[in-house]
């Protein structure tokens, strides 16, 4: 199936030697049945001509923000609304800076800032420019604004240097756009539940048993699901984290509260149990603060296993159930046993004996265990990157 057929894409071409690749992008998109409108910046026109773009796109090239003719035909707001998606290729350091800081002094930046559509940027610049702190800060800003990054790649550059900053090849860019539209079809109206953070089991009104969990990985997974269009519910134990207002956040404390909130949030297409739920609770919680003593004996009893309950409940079970496991030793044996006993589809596991990943860290290194004994290992990277890869796998599975 061609996911690009009859799509409308606005291509913004900025200055830089990589601008010549934009012509190949146009050719590939037209071959897939895409309607293309193009904005060529002043610096972009130094590298490719409006005539060459028009001959390939079979459409007019827009250049001047203050052109009376262009505004009469299609004003900059209408141009931003016309497209299903906006692609900026190549995206220079200057354009990235403009968008990150809200500047709109030309047609390209004005349309991008006025747009309500998904925007993909494909950076292309010298390696030193890409590695400069200001560029890194601007890219970080754009990611928070929901811009999607394609590349850059590592390789030889036109300036003779070698490193990261090379524009991604046109075929790969077009493939990324195909995946985006493919995912749109799958994720539309799909519902996901994520549990995150620790739970607390009270000894008395001021003391409790808990687990060492910041909730960061679960929160990032919820963000990635929302970003991919899932209707997302996040059931979180006590954390200090903030979440997008479009995510349905349910705050809980105890394992029982998390269990009840999970039941109320079902049915769902996907359930991801990343919370560090206390395995045990105090059998007889004191209603008043227990005074300091030389010794205290606590009688504990097992909490209900939320993952096990949902995985084995025929009428409530989501299409995909993903559990989490944090181990300090013999990880594969414990995880395979858990995968079998809990009847879940996948388990995401990590070795928390490594203090630089997992609890409280912004980074993680995990392995995804599947029922068919296959294992995908996601090497050391940020929890947001781990989440994006996991959600991509979820979408492919649902396909």
Integer angstrom CA distances of residue 56 from 32, 35, 59, 200, 368: 13, 11, 8, 62, 44
- Nearest to residue 393, comparing CAs of 368, 357, 371, 373? 368
Task: Please give the full DSSP string across 65-113, using - where no structure is assigned.
Answer: TT-HHHHHHS-HHHHHHH-SEEEEEEE-HHHHHHHHTT---SHHHHHHH
Which token pair is 134? 């200001």
Helix (H, G, I), strand (E, B) or coil at 367: strand
- The residue to which tokens 């800032």 are assigned: 113
Residues 249-277 as b or e (16 or more Cβ within 10 Å = b): bbebbbbebbbebbeebbebbbbbbbbbb
Q: Which listed residue (14, 159, 278, 344) is catalytic?
A: 159
CA distance 360 to 43: 45
The H-assigned helical ranges of 101-166 are 107-114, 127-131, 133-144
**Strands 231-236 vs 191-196: parallel, antiparallel or unpaired:** parallel
Residue 344 falls in the annotated catalytic set: no
Q: Is residue 165 helix, strand or coil? A: strand
Q: Which residues are catalytic?
A: 159
């Amino acid at each position: 199936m061609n996911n690009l057929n009859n799509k409308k894409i606005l291509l913004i071409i900025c200055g830089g030697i990589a601008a010549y690749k934009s012509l190949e992008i146009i050719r590939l998109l037209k071959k897939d049945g895409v309607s293309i409108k193009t904005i060529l910046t002043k610096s972009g026109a130094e590298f490719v001509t409006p005539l060459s773009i028009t001959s390939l796109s079979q459409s007019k090239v827009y250049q001047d923000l203050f052109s009376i003719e262009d505004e009469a035909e299609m004003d900059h707001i209408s141009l931003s609304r016309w497209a299903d998606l906006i692609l900026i290729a190549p995206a220079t350091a200057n354009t990235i800076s403009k968008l990150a800081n809200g500047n709109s002094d030309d047609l390209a930046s004005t349309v991008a800032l006025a747009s309500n559509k998904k925007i993909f940027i494909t950076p292309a610049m010298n390696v030193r420019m890409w590695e400069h702190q200001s560029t890194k800060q601007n890219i970080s800003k754009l990611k928070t604004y929901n811009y999607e990054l394609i590349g850059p790649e590592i390789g030889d550059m036109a300036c003779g240097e070698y490193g990261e900053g090379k524009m991604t090849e046109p075929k790969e860019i077009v493939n990324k756009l195909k995946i985006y539209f493919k995912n749109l079809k799958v994720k539309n109206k799909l519902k996901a539940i994520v549990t995150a953070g620790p739970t607390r089991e009270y000894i008395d009104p001021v003391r409790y048993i808990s687990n060492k969990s910041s909730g960061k990985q679960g929160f990032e997974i919820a963000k990635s699901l929302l970003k991919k269009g899932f209707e997302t519910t996040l059931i979180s134990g006590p954390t200090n984290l903030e979440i997008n207002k479009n995510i349905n956040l349910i705050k809980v404390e105890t394992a029982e509260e998390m269990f009840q909130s999970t039941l109320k949030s079902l049915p769902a297409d996907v359930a991801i149990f990343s919370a560090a739920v206390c395995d045990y609770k105090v059998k007889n919680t004191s209603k008043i603060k227990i005074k300091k003593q030389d010794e205290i004996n606590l009688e504990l009893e097992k909490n209900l296993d939320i993952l096990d309950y949902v995985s084995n409940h025929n009428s409530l079970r989501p299409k995909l159930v993903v559990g989490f496991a944090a181990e300090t030793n013999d990880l594969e044996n414990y995880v395979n046993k858990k995968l079998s006993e809990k009847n879940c589809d996948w388990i995401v596991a990590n070795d928390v004996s490594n203090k630089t990943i997992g609890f409280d860290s912004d980074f993680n290194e995990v392995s995804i265990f599947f029922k068919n004994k296959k294992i995908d290992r996601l090497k050391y990277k940020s929890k947001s990157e781990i989440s994006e890869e996991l959600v991509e796998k979820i979408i492919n599975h649902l396909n």
